[in-house]
Amino acid sequence: MISSCVVSLLNKPSLFLNGSRRLHLLNKNAYINGQWVSAGSKAVFPVINPADDKVITEVPDMEAADAKAAVDAASSAFKTWKDTTAKERSYILRKWYDMCAKNTDHLAQIITAESGKPLAESKGEIVYGNSFLEWFADTARHINGEVIPSPWPNKTIMLTRQPLGVVSVITPWNFPFAMITRKVGALMAAGCTCVIKPAEDTPLTALAAAQLAEEAGVPKGVINVVTSSRKNAPAIGKVLCEDPNVGCISFTGSTHVGKILYGMASKGIKRVSLELGGNAPFIVFPSADIEHAAEHAMLAKFRNNGQACVGANRFLIHKDVFDTFVQAFKKRIAKGCIMGPGTKEGVTCGPLINTEQAKKVTGLVDDALSKGAKALIGGKPAVEIGSKFYESTILTDVKPEMKIYAEEIFGPVAVCHKFETEQEVVAIANSTRSGLGSYVFTKDLGQAFRMSRQLDFGMVAINDGILSAAEPAFGGIKESGIGREGSKHGVEEYTDIKYTLFSALDK
């Protein structure tokens, strides 16, 4: 006799991973107004496992009309969700957190299947992403206003924070769970509703997160997920930016796409929260603990195989410690960067996300090598493993005329440069229109404070290769974005300040 639990599992879409483990929480439909739906056109597109190029499943290839339906559902839900108490929203977010924590293994398997990252990293992403749900569950009850001393004897000035409405959430493929929870946890805490458009490469994680949100008691219409191929993404993006019911666009992705969305949002004078590309410098001064710096260089460069907006892009090493650092770094890469499918035991570096990304990284390195750069380790695709694998690489002797000198690599390639003075390295580090994360290694306290002040980046990590968490304010300056995520400021992004004047209090 088959138990009801087994019947339930058999009725859920699933596939085998490594021939034995199922992918639970795998959904083949999009999620609008509390319903699992197909595209209006019934069209679908495949989700590919980048490790072996096999189709995991197919999901709806939605169009503008589907996005409009999702916005309308979110707008309708906002009418009631905005009036829930902060305590109620906190409770629901906490339940969502609990559901995700309980299903960490299942979520991680989906992330690994569609993004390629090692299973251990996927589990780490769930812990990291879930920390935002936990944080915003608490923060929901601390969205406070102000009573300001009045200049008039018979009047009181009050400022309150109110949710700004429907938020269009457009997320990238490199952290498909954490980029959703960091945004949606904050906007729900503030009393907003949303439509999520996940990246074309990684829609399954978003759908799994939505299923767990539904099971946690999130009301219908508060969270909606619209999936589409690259072909339909522009039309959906237009709706998500220009529909009059949308109050804010929250986007993480490339600066190029961010500018397009910013332009569309400007037509309706809509709020934007943009976390865009980075070109992070990793600066090592002579006073630094070189072994510690090399260890953290591994974290800053090779997390998610270099596919991170805050990943170290330019390694700026003082000439007195350049050779020592590079050798220590090379030794760690040779030992610690193990390529292969994310499900294989011991693998630390999975594939790049897609063919375009693999071609980009290969092209940047080939251009540099052809113009005189040297590869101390790596320097070519690992075609013996798969079509999207690239060797972990160190390049030296890189010159300004090489494409890789100024471009964000978004892959497992560390470009190492020498510098001589503090003034010189600050100028090199700041010579970019990007301004997201930066890393500095020094034991000189005064130097550490000078770097914090002089580096034109939204975030500066001193003696550490990892800087993101739920508690600090994450975000960049210049062309790396607008607004902050995480911290109390992450919730405030999704509120408007309302000024109310109480007068005639003496009557």
Report pLDDT digits (tens) over 149-188.
999 999 999 999 999 999 999 999 999 999 999 999 999 9
Q: Is-contact 183 223, C-beta < 8 A? A: no
Mean pLDDT of 209-237: 98
In 3D, which of 293, 96, 309, 131 has the Cα closest to residue 209? 96
pLDDT-derived band of residue 11, with 50, 70 and 90 as boundaries? very low
In angstroms, rounded to a whole number, what is the distance separating the alpha carbons of residues 247 and 39? 25
Which amino acid, 194?
Answer: C
Q: For residue range 345-395, what is the model confidence (pLDDT) as tens digits?
A: 999 999 999 999 999 999 999 999 999 999 999 999 999 999 999 999 999
Please state, in angstroms and rounded to a whole number, the distance separating the CA atoms of residues 114 and 385: 17
Kindly state the average pLDDT of the residues 13-36: 72
- 135 token code pair: 């944080």
- Counting DSSP H helices and E strands in the chain, the numbers are 15, 22
Select from 2.70.70.10, 3.20.20.70, 3.40.309.10, 3.30.70.890 the CATH code of 280-431+437-469: 3.40.309.10
Classify domain 10-277+484-496 by CATH architecture: 3-Layer(aba) Sandwich (3.40)
Distances (CA, A) of 49 to 110, 181, 202: 10, 23, 10
Amino acid at residue number 366: D
Query: 50-89, pLDDT tens digit by residue?
Result: 999 999 999 999 999 999 999 999 999 999 999 999 999 9
14 has pLDDT over 90: no
Angle, CA of 300, 273 and 193, to the nearest 5°: 115
Q: Which of 63, 121, 214, 275 is catalytic?
A: 275
Tokens 């001589």 sit on residue: 420
> Which is nearest to 304 in space by CA: 53, 54, 49, 125?
125
Residue ranges, CATH 3.40.605.10, the chain? 10-277+484-496
pLDDT-derived band at 480 (thresholds 50, 70, 90) equals very high
Domain with CATH 3.40.309.10 in the chain: 280-431+437-469
Share of the chain above pLDDT 90, in %: 94
- Identify whether 291 is a catalytic site residue: no
Instruction: Please give the pLDDT value at position 357.
Output: 95
**pLDDT at residue 116, rounded to an integer:** 96
Taking all residues of the chain, what is their mean pLDDT, rounded to a whole number?
94
For position 22, what pLDDT does the model report?
64
Residue 507: per-residue pLDDT: 84
CA distance 281 to 428: 9
Handedness of CA 354, 486, 406, 441 (dihedral sign): negative
Average pLDDT over residues 299-313: 96
The pair of structure tokens assigned to 196 is: 């999520």
457: left (phi over 0), alpha (psi -120 to 50) or beta: beta
Q: Where are the alpha helices (DSSP H) in 196-254?
A: 203-215, 233-242
- Cβ neighbours of 222 (radius 10 Å): 26
Whether pTM exceeds 0.85:
yes
Model confidence pLDDT, tens digit, residues 457-472:
999 999 999 999 999 9
Average pLDDT over residues 442-468: 98
